[in-house]
Amino acid sequence: MQSQQAERLDGGKARHVALPVESRAIRAWARRWGINAGLLFILPALLIYAAVVLYPLLSMFYLSLFSWDGLSPDKSYIGLANFQQLAADPLFFVTLRNAGIWIVFDVGLSLVIGLALALLVNQRLRGTMFFRTLYFLPTTVSVIVVGQIWGWIYQGDVGALNNYLGLLGLGSLRQAWLGDPNLAIYSAVAVALWSGVGFQMMVYLAGLQTIPGEILEAAQVDGATSWQRLRTVTLPLLLPQTVTLTILGIIGTLSQFTLIYVLTKGGPAYQSELPSLFVFDQAFTLSQQGYASAIAVVIFAISLIVTVIQLRLYRRYQGY
């Protein structure tokens, strides 16, 4: 009987498995009360998910309709006023512009550099394991530590970067890397690239290793140059990885907080402020929890749109 049920659960594809006593007891109990046993099995996970994901998410939507300082027991319902305020808040659009810069330079360049590194370490040469580890290493370091180290490197007066530029006779290139409003975000993007590109490399490397050698060999026999093989064979086959990394990068940018907080605190004059830091400022510095929730709702909506696009692109390219 149990075997038949187990068979029914996965459409009869699985081999018959002897279920533990506890599972059989749960099934019997569920059958007696007319409950789908599957639901009971996923209930613990569902409860945890509801507590740590759904509840905060719904709270965020709920709070976005209130004026609330985040502490007081009194909240005033103000409808969509927070969203109206947001639509007229130039600082929010500055943070979106900054997010755009971050996406173009961090997400875009990390794809190119990650792919280049993956192609390099995918070769059958001595020492590739060492370089794979070396390139991946920064990804394993805590973001706060990365921010602290690079903050020291970038420090304008006594930092390592300006000191080395001086020692190399390139003193004219010394900059206020984190203090110049035109440079701060690019300096931070460079750190994000350094810190994160190992991940892109690993994903591409995994993708490269799934490409059958015969396809590349066939192309080579047909006279394709290495550039042509890369452009017409390798890159199209890596499209799922590229799509995934792009989407993860965009969502990651919208939730990027720690690195930019440690490096610039969003300054100078909001020129490196990203949306999540803006939410933090509103919630904690200005105690406008309702307004902060409204911003978070909009960021959530943007992330959702990006995710939908991701799913559509996946469907389109699932043939690969």
* Interface with other proteins (CB under 8 A): 69-72, 152, 154-159, 176-181, 184, 264-265, 267-271, 281, 284-287
State which residue, 204 or 261, has the beta carbon closest to other proteins.
261
Nearest of 279, 302, 300 to residue 290 by alpha carbon:
279
**In the complex, minimum distance from the CB of residue 260 to other proteins, in angstroms, rounded to a whole number:** 12
Q: How many of the other CB atoms lie within 10 Å of CB of 166?
A: 13
User: Kindly report the CA angle at 238 between 233 and 239, in degrees rounded to 5?
Assistant: 105
State which residue, 20 or 79, has the beta carbon closest to other proteins.
79
State which residue, 203 or 296, has the beta carbon closest to other proteins.
296
**In the complex, minimum distance from the CB of residue 252 to other proteins, in angstroms, rounded to a whole number:** 22
**In the complex, minimum distance from the CB of residue 174 to other proteins, in angstroms, rounded to a whole number:** 9
**In the complex, minimum distance from the CB of residue 138 to other proteins, in angstroms, rounded to a whole number:** 18
- Are the beta carbons of 135 and 117 closer than 8 angstroms? yes
**In the complex, minimum distance from the CB of residue 72 to other proteins, in angstroms, rounded to a whole number:** 8
State which residue, 70 or 108, has the beta carbon closest to other proteins.
70
State which residue, 133 or 182, has the beta carbon closest to other proteins.
182
**In the complex, minimum distance from the CB of residue 198 to other proteins, in angstroms, rounded to a whole number:** 24
State which residue, 24 or 265, has the beta carbon closest to other proteins.
265
